[in-house]
Every structure is written in structure tokens, then in C-alpha cells.
Amino acid sequence: MDFLINYRSRINSFLEKILPAANIVPAELHQAIRYVVLGSGKRLRAALIYATGEALGAKLDELDAVAAAVELMHSYSLVHDDLPAMDNDDLRHGKPTCHKAFNEAIAILTGDALQALAFEVLSNANTITADVRVKMITVLANAVGSMEMVGGQVLDLVAEGKQINIQELEAIHTRKTGALIAASVQLGALAAGCDDIKQLKNLELFAQAIGLAFQVQDDIIDIESSTETLGKQQGADLAKNKATYPALLGIAATKEKVNNLYQQALQHLAKAELAESYLKHLAVFIVQRSY
């Protein structure tokens, strides 16, 4: 997918330019910020912003700051998710997690700084009108707050070691993972000036379907891929006694669920009149990826 490679290259270059230099005081914090942001992430959320915005007529340079804000917010969430008090992970993207490479206090402060920087970058996106930026800030804040991403993390922690059903598992992942993916599509549409209520609703439903599909596919990958391929501990959720889709449904039914979510996503994309956009190819990437 050449377009995805181009999107990744573009957002990586933009992030490189806007991040504080590693030698600026406090140097250890800025080194940690660059360490976690300028890694080898998939940049899926940035790609969704670029693909949605382009499909609706926006230029790429009107989308850079929006894509960067979401990637910064995503990086913050990963740093905090990896902490000993959360998932206690040692590897992320094939290298030591932030608290392992630096220390726990620096990791916490790195996440704090990244969240603040995300809102700063979005509020200063001067290729977009001020009223639209205000709407975007609200969308992003809602996506990462107590009702969505952070709330999903809490539900995940509360559920650890307990027997939960499929509805409870989906409630966790719709918030913890899906909310920021859905917000990425919404932000791309806002940046393009989309005000068609029907189109926006179908894009929202498309994003919700692929957001959940992303997590379900993650659970399959955890079983079928190696630690080297994943860049993180294989089967980490199983080792922590966390519920997974294969554990609740079986691997065959889990794969069927991914396909059903993919088909739902395509239906909503068609209703949004964007069936042949790059968003379709991103949906394919999400459900077929092995890392």
C-alpha cells in the first residue's frame, strides 16, 4: 500500500519537526518524548485522518497538525498503558518501553507532556479555521476522557483476573482502543469541512466497526505471531489473565467476527459514498495485518 507508506513518511517527518530537540532542558524528558514518538508505529490513526480528509477534498498540508495531535495522544496512551501500575509491559515496537529505557517517573511525565503537546499542536493548526479547531479539540478531549479511552483503561484494570462476557469485553475495547480510532475519522472529516449529517454518521459507524475489528484482530495476532513479529510480548493479555476474544469465542468464531465487522465497515463506507477511497484499503489493512 504505497499511500500508507507515504502517509507514514509524511507524519514521521512532521513529528520530527515539531518535537522539542533532545538537548533542550529538561533533556531527559525531551529524549524520552522523542524515543516514544519517533518509533516504528503503524501510524494508523494519522493515516485515517489523511485518508478521510483527502477523500472529502482536504489537502494534506491541512491535515498534518491534526494527524500529529492524534499520534501524540496515542503515544501518551501507550506510555501510560505500559507502566507497572497498568499493563507492566517491557517491550513496545520492538524496544524497551519508556519506563524501562528511562524510569517510571520520566515515563509518567512523558505521557503528561505528550497529552499537553497534542492539544497545543491541534489548537495551533492555523490551516483550519478557529471554530473548527474548537470542535476538534472537543472531539479529541471526549475521545480520551473518562467516558472513552481512559474509562476503557479503568474497565480493563477492574476486569483483570475476572470472568467477563463478550459484551463487557467489547465495552472495554470500544473505549480503550476504538474511541481514538473513531475520533481520527471524525477529525479528518471536520478538517475537510464536511457538514453532511448522513455522511458523517456513516463515517462514524465505519470508524466504530474498524476500531473494534482492530482490537479483535490484535487478539488473533497475539496467538498466531511471534514476539519478534509483534515487537511486544507474545500473548501478553493471556499471561496477565485478561479476557480475549479467542478465549471467549474460540479462534474460528473470532476470525468470523473480524470479517463481519469488516463487512459492516464497508457497508457504512458505501453509504458515505466513499467506497473506493483509501479508507477501504485501510480497513483491509486492519483486518489482514499480522503485526
DSSP state of 21: P
CATH class of the domain whose range is 2-288: mainly alpha
User: 94-147 pLDDT, tens per residue?
Assistant: 899 999 999 999 999 999 999 999 999 999 999 999 999 999 999 999 999 999
**Average pLDDT along the chain:** 93
**Mean pLDDT throughout 264-272?**
97
pTM over 0.85: yes
Give the percent of the chain with pLDDT over 70.
94
pLDDT on residue 221 = 92
**Mean pLDDT throughout 143-155?**
97
Structure confidence at residue 233 as a pLDDT band (50, 70, 90): low
Contacts of residues 167-176 at CB distance under 8 Å and 24 or more positions apart, as own/partner, are: 168/243, 169/243, 169/244, 169/245, 169/248, 170/212, 173/212, 173/215, 173/216, 174/208, 174/211, 174/212, 175/147, 175/148, 175/149, 175/151, 176/149, 176/152, 176/215
> Taking Cα atoms as reference points, which of 95, 47, 53 lies closest to residue 71?
47
Structure confidence at residue 240 as a pLDDT band (50, 70, 90): low
Rounded to the nearest 10 degrees, what angle do helices 104-123 and 64-81 cross at? 160
